[in-house]
Amino acid sequence: MEIILNNTINPAYLIGAGMIWLGASTSSHAAVIINEIDYDQVGSDTAEFIELFNSDINSVTLDGYTLDLINGTNGTAYNSFDLSGFSIAAIGYLVLCDSTQAVANCNIEVASSSWIQNGGPDGDAVALLFGSTLLDSVTYEGIGSALGLYAEGNSFAPADSNSITMSIARLPNGTDTNINAGDFSSGCISPGSANMSGTGDCSVSVNPVPVPAAIWLFGSGLIGLIGISRRKQGSLAG
Ligand SMILES: [Ca+2]
Ligand SMILES: [Ca+2]
Ligand SMILES: [Ca+2]
Ligand SMILES: [Ca+2]
């Protein structure tokens, strides 16, 4: 069963010439990873974001890519975002956020607050897929029995905080050894730029020139998750 969450068209933005474009690119799927997540802010969660990073020296077109947010209680997607139509520049970033007013360098505005669940004992996960192939996933705060598929290294990233300004971030920037617990740690908030250790807000405005660009579609919630075959970074060259 598929759950269509919403078909509302929301504004999306391309920020920074050279940061994202819709031109020539490669098929280096495995080069794109989930790099930083801020799912919990001090008090109300109104500045959540997920940052993707392309480590390839070529841009990557995101046609066929989906970002799923996975509920730890049942292992199914409670939010799913079709990234078709977007690209990430070489050694570049793509940021999905609550609000372009609240999050620096946000490329795709998700028109709601609290769109990323706050984990809890059974954890939650974020998953990047190409078609039905799971490319990268991050489980945080715990591993419920339904999250095994997404808990890289059978481990989970440390928790974000409701009392400290921080994110959970790959450190050093872009590190992916397929062990969530080792790859992620407390990060200073840095949407759209290289991750930094520590806490606080290290946002740097890369090039704040928003240009209306693309239609944002909320996709189906399940996306054929059954039978997903995991491919590790580096196994999809070409
Ligand atoms: Ca949240
Ligand atoms: Ca946070
Ligand atoms: Ca909070
Ligand atoms: Ca970052």
Distance 94 CA to ligand 2 centre (A): 18
Asked whether the predicted pLDDT for residue 158 surpasses 80, the reply is yes
Distance 48 CA to ligand 3 centre (A): 9
Q: Is residue 238 part of a domain?
A: no
- Judge residue 119's burial from the number of C-beta atoms within 10 Å of its C-beta, 0-12 exposed, 13-18 middle, 19 or more buried: buried
Q: Is residue 137 part of a domain?
A: yes
- In the chain, the number of structural domains is 1
Q: Is residue 25 part of a domain?
A: yes
Q: Is residue 105 part of a domain?
A: yes
Distance 119 CA to ligand 1 centre (A): 8
Q: What are the angstrom distances between the C-alpha of 181 and each of 29, 35, 146, 167, 211? A: 23, 13, 18, 14, 37
Distance 50 CA to ligand 3 centre (A): 15
Residues within 5 Å of ion ligand 4, judged at the Cβ atom: 36, 51, 190, 195
Q: Is residue 156 part of a domain?
A: yes
Percent pLDDT > 90 in the chain is: 71
Q: pLDDT tens-digit profile of 97-123?
A: 999 999 999 999 987 788 999 999 999
Ligand nearest to the CA of residue 104, numbered in listed order: 4
Distance 127 CA to ligand 3 centre (A): 21
Q: Which of 14, 7, 4, 28 is nearest to 136 (CA)?
A: 28
105 touches 15 (CB < 8 A): yes
> Which long-range CB contacts under 8 A does 177-181 form with residues at least 24 apart?
177/153, 178/152, 178/153, 178/232, 178/233, 179/152, 179/153, 179/155, 180/137, 180/138, 180/139, 180/140, 180/151, 180/152, 180/153, 180/155, 180/156, 181/153, 181/155, 181/156, 181/157
Q: Is residue 159 part of a domain?
A: yes
- Confidence (pLDDT) at 114: 86
Q: In the predicted model, what is the mean pLDDT of residues 70-77?
A: 96
DSSP category for residue 17:
T
Among 29-33, 61-65, 127-131, name the one with the lowest average pLDDT.
29-33
Q: In the predicted model, what is the mean pLDDT of residues 176-198?
A: 97
Distance 163 CA to ligand 2 centre (A): 8
CATH number for the domain that contains residue 22: 2.60.40.1260
Q: Is residue 4 part of a domain?
A: no
- Confidence (pLDDT) at 95: 97
Residue 49's pLDDT band, with cuts at 50, 70 and 90, is very high
Residues within 5 Å of ion ligand 1, judged at the Cβ atom: 39, 45, 114, 116, 118
- Confidence (pLDDT) at 165: 98
Asked whether the predicted pLDDT for residue 22 surpasses 80, the reply is no
Q: Is residue 230 part of a domain?
A: no
pTM over 0.85: no
Provide the residue range defining the domain that includes 33.
13-218
Distance 52 CA to ligand 4 centre (A): 8
Average pLDDT over the chain, rounded to an integer: 81
Q: Which of 54, 51, 47, 5 is nearest to 29 (CA)?
A: 54
- Confidence (pLDDT) at 110: 86
Asked whether the predicted pLDDT for residue 173 surpasses 90, the reply is yes
Distance 120 CA to ligand 4 centre (A): 24
